[in-house]
Amino acid sequence: MNPLSEEILEKYIEAGKIAKSALKYAVEYVSPKRKINLFELCEAIEGYIRSKGASLAFPCNLSFNEIAAHYSPTEPHDELVFDNGLLKIDVGAMVDGYIADTAVTIARGYEYEKLAVINKQILNEVLTMFKPGVSLGSIGKYVEDRAKKSGYKPISNLSGHLVGNYTLHGGKSVPNVGQFFSPKIEAWEVYAVEPFLTFGDASGEVMNSSVIQIYSLTKMKKIKDKSLNHVKDTIYKKFRFLPFSPRWLVDEFGEDAYSLVGHLFKMRYLRGYPALIERTRRFVSQFEHTIIVTDGDPIIITN
């Protein structure tokens, strides 16, 4: 039985179209530039998604070189001179809570372009494996074997994930390395599939940095301080328990938004998502699509 109604499928497909076009917009925005203001790029991409009638499932990630994920600028003068290397653009569009998550890597320099090409090929290949009954660990083994055969390594402690209504990371993960014991894919599940690759001499693992620019609410317990309680309630009203950027609260709270978020984080009302760095500082690429598994051919909503 298909638990996804025609209406829900249409919302996923619409979110996928918007996320796909946002990435196309982002690539065109970056292509002619050598010097990129990451803050302006982030705001432009997010504004584009909103202008198409979707909400943001999470802050736009603009992770570059050895930063694999979770970099979403908060400083207006955050600039990147982009001659050589890898810029990952990861976006999430949401229609009535139904999420499409997709990412692309822009590569400059021969060795980085080659890595990105293999990464994209691997993603396209594993998407054909998403059928009911297939173990998620076998997906990871394919990514790992294919990457190593090409002279690269997957990032072993990053994975794809099940998505649901207002839920970015569901109960199942899509590993990028082989796993003996893992759940199986079921019909009508929705997955964000995202192989991360690095070079063969790297550690193939990421670690937390000290930079935290993305947060999510962890609890709704009332706070005695009325002003902080109002901020907490505002976060829930706007974002529920999905990831958000303090930038998104500036319209309501001004520049105090950053310090207010910091207070809530210290009080453990918020979870922080540190920017993730490859342990040996080798550069990382990423490609991602969101796929709906059916009892026939899968639907890649961001392709």
Q: Does residue 171 have a pLDDT over 90?
A: no
Q: What is the chain's Cα-based Rg? A: 19
Do 231 and 103 have their domain in common? no
Angle, alpha carbons 33-37-41 (nearest 5°): 85
198 and 223 belong to one structural domain = no
User: Both 167 and 244 in a single domain?
Assistant: no
Structural domain count of the chain: 2
* Burial classification of residue 44, based on how many CB atoms lie within 10 Å of its CB (0-12 exposed, 13-18 middle, 19 or more buried): middle
- Look at residues 79, 151, 77, 163 and name the one whose alpha carbon lies nearest to residue 119: 151
Whole-structure pTM value: 0.96
pLDDT at 1 (0 to 100): 63
Per-residue confidence band for 3, with pLDDT thresholds at 50, 70 and 90? confident
CATH number, domain containing residue 217: 1.10.10.10
191 bridge partner residues: 162, 291
Q: Domain of 71: which CATH number?
A: 3.90.230.10
129/225 same-domain check: no
Tell me which residue has tokens 């974002």: 239
Same domain, 194 and 224: no
* pLDDT at 190 exceeding the cut of 70: yes
**1 is a domain residue:** no
101 part of a folded domain = yes
Residues recognised as catalytic: 90, 101, 161, 169, 194, 288
* Averaged pLDDT for residues 290-301: 96
Q: Are residues 118 and 216 in the same domain?
A: no
Mean pLDDT of the chain: 97
Strand partners of residue 278: 206
> Binning pLDDT at 50, 70 and 90, where does residue 2 land?
confident
Q: Percent of the chain at pLDDT above 90? A: 97
Most distant CA pair in the chain, distance: 58
HSE-CB at 283 with a 13 A cutoff on CA atoms is 20
Asked whether residue 216 is assigned to any structural domain, the reply reads yes
For residues 54 and 172, state if they share a domain: yes
Structure tokens at 235: 């976060």
Same domain, 225 and 94: no
pLDDT tens per residue, range 59-113 = 999 999 999 999 999 999 999 999 999 999 999 999 999 999 999 999 999 999 9
Residues 196, 292, single domain; the answer is yes
Specify if 235 maps to a domain: yes
In the three-class reduction of DSSP (H, G, I as helix; E, B as strand; rest coil), residue 84 is classed as: coil
Same domain, 216 and 187: no
Q: What is the pLDDT of residue 150?
A: 97
- Residues 21-37, mean pLDDT to the nearest whole number: 96
In a domain, 293, yes or no: yes
Residue 288 lies in a domain: yes
Domain that holds residue 258: 209-275
Q: How far apart are CA 182 and CA 191, in angstroms?
A: 15
Long-range contact set of residues 235-239: C-beta below 8 Å, sequence gap at least 24: 235/264, 235/270
Looking at the fold, whether 86 and 225 belong to one and the same domain comes out as: no
Q: Which has the closest alpha carbon to 224: 214, 235, 232, 212?
A: 232
- Cα–Cα distance measured from residue 151 to residue 268, given in angstroms and rounded to the nearest whole number: 42
Say if 170 falls within a structural domain.
Answer: yes
Residues 170 and 266 in one domain: no
